[in-house]
Structure formats: structure tokens, C-alpha cells
Amino acid sequence: MSLGVTSTGLSLAHLAPILLFTRLAGAACTPVDHAHAAWTTILGRFVRAGEVAYGRLGREGAPLLASYLDGLSSACADDYARWSRAERLAFWINAYNAFAVKLALDHYPIASIRRIGWLPGAAFRERFIPMPGLKGGNVSLDDIENG
């Protein structure tokens, strides 16, 4: 059963999955909260005198952190192009810090993020930060810092 043929010779049945994927990819792009309210809440609740309470953050704040990170990861290049320089800078600084906290939590308890991985600096080169709409895939802390 054919659903029709387009000018390219493909049937609509062949195009349906492509159209669905394109629609889903577009739906995944959400506006970024430039006030970074969730991150501010996390810092206020789990950081004292410059020290992160990783154990408590992992137990009590993981859903809030995950939601914030998902919001950062869903940023899109089209929106990014319209952001001010200050909004871009705040986005990348907060993304770096929040994903560094996630990395530490993923390896908690650990004395230092520098102890993650076999080689010196391995944690900073690991591409674990999903930025499909901005960078086309995963990036590393090093990519953010130096890119």
C-alpha cells in the first residue's frame, strides 16, 4: 500500500519517520532560563563557604540538578544566536560548573575531580555533556573552557 510519492520519488511512508524525527528534534529545543534560577537555588541550598555538600546534594538535590542540566542541554543554536554576549558567557560558565558538580556526584565520594580517570586531566576531556542543539553532540569541560 503506497501513501503517495513525493517529487523525490520517496513515498510518504518513507518520509513519515523523517518528519517525525525532525518534529521531535525541534520540540527538544526549549528556551533557557537566563536567570539560572534552579542553579542559584542549588548553590544556596548545598554550598557553604565555598564547599559543596555533595552527599546531601546527591540525596536531596539530584532531581533539581538533573532538571537544570536537561534545560542547559536542550539549548538550540537558533536561540543561542539571539543571546547577548553576557547571556552566552553566563550560560557557559554555569554549564561548566553545574556539569562539573554532576561529574563529581557521579564519582562521589572522591577527594578531587582531578582523580577521575586514569590519566591526568581525563575528567576534563571526557565528552559527557550533551549539547546536541548547540554543538551537535557531547562536549567536555575542556571544550567549554577552551572553546
In the chain, domain spans: 1-30, 32-146
Global confidence as pTM: 0.80
Residue 115 identity (one-letter amino acid): R
Measured CA distances, 121 to 5, 44, 93, 135 (Å):
54, 29, 19, 22
Q: What are phi and psi of 140, to 5 degrees?
A: -110, 170
Rounded Cα–Cα distance for residues 98 and 19 (Å)? 34
Q: Which three cell numbers stand for residue 106?
A: 557521579
pLDDT digits (tens, 9 = 90+) for 65-120: 999 999 999 999 999 999 999 999 999 999 999 999 999 999 999 888 888 888 88
Average pLDDT, the chain: 85
